[in-house]
Amino acid sequence: MHYVMIGNSIASTACIEAIRTIDTEGPITVIGEENHPCYSRPLISYLLQGKTDEARLAYRAAAFYEENSVTVLQGIRATSIDKEKKTVLLDSEAVLAYDKLLLATGSSPFIPPIKGLEEVKNCFTFLALDEAKRLQAHLRKESRVLILGAGLIGLKCAEAIIDKVHSVSVVDLAPRVLMSVLDDAASEQVRKHLQEQGLRFFLGDSIRECTANEALLQSGSVIGFDLLVIAVGVKPNIQLAKEAGLDVNRGILVDEGGRTSDADVFAAGDCTEGPEMISGQKAVLALLPNAYLQGETAGTNMAGGEASFDRAVAMNALSLMGLHLITVGRYEGTSHLIACQEGYKRLFVKDNHLVGCILIGEACKRAGIYTAMIRNRVELDSLDFTLICEEPLLMAFAKNVRQLHLGGPV
């Protein structure tokens, strides 16, 4: 059995590990466009801050591929898939035959059409290691940096560079920061905190036109810059799958086992659109934990085992300039806003289940209990919900619930 994986990612790493628990001998070939072993993308901001180095970015030890008998083709791109012949064509014109194929092609930065953007010499994205290193090489104490995008990627970039440059300005068409993951009140709290750290925001605005060192906004404001970072979002890499005739929507469509519309082709990670546990609908959830669990599930099934991943849920946990925030699930149903001295807590309840939460600052303490409640669909009438709203303590749960869902003492 020859396993081929397109994309040297978190998902393919998990797939390798799962395959090797079942099949210790079948050859595995991984095709990776980047000239790096698999690394943790969320850590690239810490690289620029000097809190980590390239060696520590690696997702597994250097010996991982050799120990698992994996052939890695670095700096190589897959250009097409032939489902009938079960082959992958590479940009080197080599052809790889497969028995089982994993698509872990990830996502790419979305670059909006901006007049004059081609005139900007120092323009960057912030999704891949090489781009982050290229940005790092251009940072100067006198640099004026303009970031287009006040989402997760843009704000992590701002955090990474703000103490290394003269100024950082952030422009976003949305009226508030982290529009896709926070409500109005939480967003305002985060914006004020970041502004106090020196960030300058232009919200509800967009770049109409660029010259080499200036951005003209729709509002008429003009922002001078030396470096421009585009961080307005990502798009799943579905082109290979689409051209191969696989079913796609926003992402490559997969079931709970990671299967695509072809029995011998699987997909996992940011490129996929699979079942979301709360709504039951398919969604793109470009998150590292989901990518790993999807890859693990796909690898088990590729090797002849049986596995399913039906706990995919939107989740973000990060720190921005010392302010911690966690968001989980969906913001629907009945809202419960709990007063916090330093922070913010809002819980969402629907059909006797906790389905979502927004936590900032001190409210992030023991957030794992809320996450477990959402993922495990804990019935709220089985616990003291008033207590759990105020303080997520195990004592709020019945003994059998603690043991079954939360791993707590009985």
Q: Do both 201 and 243 map to the same domain?
A: no
Q: What is the pLDDT of residue 404?
A: 55
CATH number at residue 353: 3.30.390.30
Whether 311 is in a domain gets the answer no
356: closest CA among 371, 368, 344? 371
Helix H, strand E, coil C: the string for 159-226 is HHHHHHCCEEEEEECCCCCCCCCCCHHHHHHHHHHHHHCCCEEEECCCEEEECCCEEEECCCCEEECC
Whether 34 is in a domain gets the answer yes
Q: Do both 126 and 225 map to the same domain?
A: yes
Categorise residue 270: left if φ over 0, alpha if ψ from -120 to 50, beta otherwise: alpha
Whether 312 is in a domain gets the answer no
Q: Which residue has the tokens 């799958």?
A: 241
Whether 360 is in a domain gets the answer yes
Q: What is the pLDDT of residue 402?
A: 59
Q: Do both 75 and 154 map to the same domain?
A: no
201: closest CA among 240, 167, 229, 172? 172
DSSP letter (8 states) at residue 58: B
pTM for the whole structure? 0.93
Residue finishing a domain among 230, 260, 277: 230
Q: Do both 224 and 244 map to the same domain?
A: no
Q: Do both 131 and 266 map to the same domain?
A: no
Instruction: Give the total number of structural domains in the chain.
Output: 3
Whether 315 is in a domain gets the answer no
Q: Do both 104 and 244 map to the same domain?
A: yes
- Domain holding 272, by residue range, is 3-108+234-302
Burial class (CB in 10 A: 0-12, 13-18, 19+), 344: buried
Q: Do both 97 and 140 map to the same domain?
A: no
d(CA 87, CA 96): 5
Q: Do both 104 and 127 map to the same domain?
A: no
Q: What is the pLDDT of residue 398?
A: 60
- Confirm if 273 and 250 have CB atoms less than 8 A apart: yes
Q: Do both 12 and 97 map to the same domain?
A: yes
CATH number at residue 257: 3.50.50.60
Q: Do both 226 and 253 map to the same domain?
A: no
Q: Which residue has the tokens 């959402």?
A: 374
Q: Which two tokens stand for residue 86?
A: 């079960």
Q: Do both 205 and 261 map to the same domain?
A: no
Residue finishing a domain among 179, 200, 230: 230
* Neighbour tally for 10: CB within 10 Å: 29
Residue finishing a domain among 211, 230, 249: 230
pLDDT < 50 regions, the chain: 408-410
Q: Which two tokens stand for residue 406?
A: 């939360």
Whether 317 is in a domain gets the answer no
Give the total residue count for the chain: 410
- Confirm if 333 and 371 have CB atoms less than 8 A apart: no
Q: Which two tokens stand for residue 121?
A: 């010499």
Whether 314 is in a domain gets the answer no
Q: Which two tokens stand for residue 261?
A: 């519309």
